[in-house]
Structures are given as structure tokens and as C-alpha cells.
Amino acid sequence: MLKKLVGAALSLAMFCSIHVSSAFAETPLSAAVNDGLGAPYKWAGTSKQGFDCSGYTSWVFAKFGIELPHTSKGQAEKGTEVSKENLRAGDLVFFNTDGRGISHVGVYVGDGKFYHSATNQGVVITKLSEDYYAKRYVTARRILSDEQYQELMTDNQ
């Protein structure tokens, strides 16, 4: 239990360091990804009672009327490819975690971090530079148009 509480506190601290236009701003995108933070991992899960990785990303984007397939490989076929150097909040990042191609997905939130549902942790925030994910990074896709991005990154205040 203590391990989960410490993990949740660290995740919240990392989330608060995400670049937004003001120190206390909450955007629709940050509210959506943060809403699932701490939910447990559940294979084929699509709700806060439990998410798998693509279930979580589908759930986040559904909040904005954007339908995504419930597989990481299917999601990797949507949107447009974007280089790692040009990532922006809301882009999907993909990893090869099983040695057979794209098998994991998360939502990039800026500052080198992404939200995802990890098998042994549930929905957490992780740095792209973390050794495990850095070695397994495959590609990223931009799902949000520039107009959608501007809407979702506007302060809710």
C-alpha cells in the first residue's frame, strides 16, 4: 500500500511539472489524462476500473470525440507520423515491448513524459528517457489537428 501511495505522489508531482501556460493551469488534455492516473492495469480494460495501454489511450481520446482502435498496432496506423524531436502534448508514442513490433502505447504530455497503463503499475507517468522505454521506442503519431490541439491546450480557468 505504501508503495502505491508513494508512486501516486510521485506521479502527481511529475504531472504538475508538465509544461503548461501557467503554473496552476489545467487544460482539457491534462484533465483527461490525469483523470485516469492511478487506475489499475487490466488486460482488455477500457475504464477506470482497469485499463490496458490501448484501452487507456482510446478512453482519453474518446473524451474529445476521437475514436481509436483498441490495439496499439491499430492506433499506430492513425494520424500522421511525427519525429521524436517534434513531439507535442497529445501525440501517441509507441513501443516494442514484446519483440514482435508495436505492442505498447501512451499519450505524450510534454517535457519528455508520457502517460500509459503499464502492466505492473496501471496508469502512470513515465519519462521517454527511462532506459526500458528509450530502448523500445518505435514511433509516434499525431492524432490531433492543430485546431484540436489549440482547443485541448487552452486553460480551463
Look-up of cell digits 519525429: 83
Reply yes or no on whether 70 is catalytic: no
As a whole number of angstroms, the distance between CA 116 and CA 147 comes to 24
Of 16, 19, 70, 116, which is the active-site residue?
116
Backbone phi, psi, residue 10, to 5°: -65, -40
16, 19, 53, 70: the catalytic one is 53
Task: Round to whole Å and give the CA distance between 70 and 61.
Answer: 12
The grid coordinates listed for 144 are 490531433
Active site residue 116: yes
Instruction: Name the active-site residue from 16, 19, 70, 104.
Output: 104
H helical segments located in 17-120? 28-35, 53-62, 72-75
Q: Residue 25's closest CA among 16, 14, 12?
A: 16
**Cα(57)–Cα(138) distance, integer angstroms:** 17
State yes or no: is 16 an active-site residue.
no
The set of catalytic residues is 53, 104, 116
